[in-house]
Amino acid sequence: MARLRDAPGGPQVLLRAFLGVTFTYAGLQKLTNRNFFEAANPGSIQSQLHASITLSPIGPLIRLAAHEPVLVGLLIAFGELAVGLGTLFGLLGRVAAAGGMAVSLLLFLSVSFNTTPYFYGSDIVFFFAWTPLVVGGSGAWSVDAALEARHARERASAGVPPEQQAPDLDRRAAVRKAASALTLASFAVVTAAIAAAVGRMSGASLQTSGAPQLSPPSTESPSPGSSKGTAIGLAGDVPLGGAREFTDPAQGIPAYVVRPSESSYVGFSAVCTHMGCTVGFFEPALQFRCPCHGSIFSAVTGEVLQGPAAAPLPSIPIEKSANGTLLADG
């Protein structure tokens, strides 16, 4: 521990480890979770973008990004992976840290900008956590430090004073750093490909969504005199005491239909009223829980059971037609 403390940039190692692991995990989680790119899933990048448009100060940019959600999702995932691995290995440390700041700022403006009080939002904390690495670089126990030490030894062996330029040696050092970056980038691509393949073959992910999707709506037309609304699926697909996800046809936002009793069905927006994250369904307690800041809502009434959210989840009218089809927004 003393060796780490006394090494130049040694105290930054723990920060590098935390940020590197966190961003690497975040990137792999998106690539492994096949639901992240499925537009109909409430936890998808498409749903998250649409949910953030009205809450974010950069809403017009998010609306533009929503036209190419898969591309945006891939850029975010690979960006987080590149930042995470670069930070973890300490290669091009200042560049990786600057990229981490950019990602954190983007998430802050698009997701957690409206968090009150502000310190409940993790993105602004991550933004400032990157500053020591932007200013001080990777520090000890890093590829950057190893390459700089080798370059210094070569200059010393050649008898080049510190203040004197050595174009050949400097060029060789730059080529080594570029080769190291290319090697790490290749490792990142292979890792991402394996993670994506495993996620799609097994159907598993590092973080799953809260409830299964409804089956496609019945093609049978509602009988004359039946309730009006848009068919979202079959009532029989919603288990007693359970929930199913669907996309609200009126607003295009992620939503849930819940069956609290044998003959009753209720619908709620899945967009947390605190800062716009997508809530998950917790079946044992009939609750919706927000993964961002811990808000809990009743899955029967939508009311807030635990803050920081202050407003209940908006309800969505749900009715069951004579042929067993669920109709929303009637």
Q: How far is CA 148 from CA 115, 154, 158, 246, in A?
A: 42, 10, 15, 54
Q: What is the mean pLDDT of residues 72-81?
A: 94
56, 113 contact by CB (below 8 A) = yes
Cα angle 277, 293, 267; round to 5: 45
Q: What is the model's pLDDT at position 209?
A: 47
Q: Please tell me which residue, 200 or 240, carries the higher pLDDT value.
A: 240
Instruction: Please name the amino acid found at residue 33.
Output: N
Q: What is the model's pLDDT at position 227?
A: 58
247: left (phi over 0), alpha (psi -120 to 50) or beta: beta
pTM over 0.75: no
Q: What is the model's pLDDT at position 204?
A: 43
CA gap 138, 91 in Å, rounded: 7
DSSP 307: S
Q: What is the mean pLDDT of residues 106-119?
A: 79
The domain 230-328 having CATH identifier 2.102.10.10: the answer here is yes
Q: What is the model's pLDDT at position 42?
A: 57
- For residue 324, pLDDT over 70 is answered with yes
Instruction: Please name the amino acid found at residue 198.
Output: V
- For residue 106, pLDDT over 50 is answered with yes
Helix residue ranges, H only, the chain: 2-6, 12-32, 45-53, 59-65, 69-89, 93-107, 122-129, 131-136, 143-157, 167-202
Q: Please tell me which residue, 41 or 203, carries the higher pLDDT value.
A: 41
Residues 6+ apart with CB under 8 A from 238: 214, 244, 257, 258, 259, 265, 326
124, 118 contact by CB (below 8 A) = yes
CA gap 104, 129 in Å, rounded: 10
Q: What is the model's pLDDT at position 2?
A: 59
**In the sheet where 287-289 sits, what is the strand order?**
280-282, 287-289, 296-298, 304-306
Alpha carbon dihedral 299, 303, 306, 308, in 10-degree steps, equals: 120
Reported as a pLDDT band with limits 50, 70 and 90, residue 146 is very high
Q: Which of 31-40, 60-69, 186-195 has the lowest mean pLDDT?
A: 31-40
- For residue 8, pLDDT over 70 is answered with no
Instruction: Please name the amino acid found at residue 105.
Output: L
Query: What contacts 24+ positions apart, CB below 8 Å, involve 256-264?
Result: 256/42, 256/210, 256/211, 256/281, 256/288, 256/299, 257/214, 257/232, 257/233, 257/316, 257/318, 257/326, 257/328, 258/286, 258/299, 258/300, 259/235, 260/286, 260/299, 260/300
Q: How far is CA 102 from CA 2, 13, 106, in A?
A: 33, 21, 6
Q: Where are the domains of the chain?
A: 2-202, 230-328
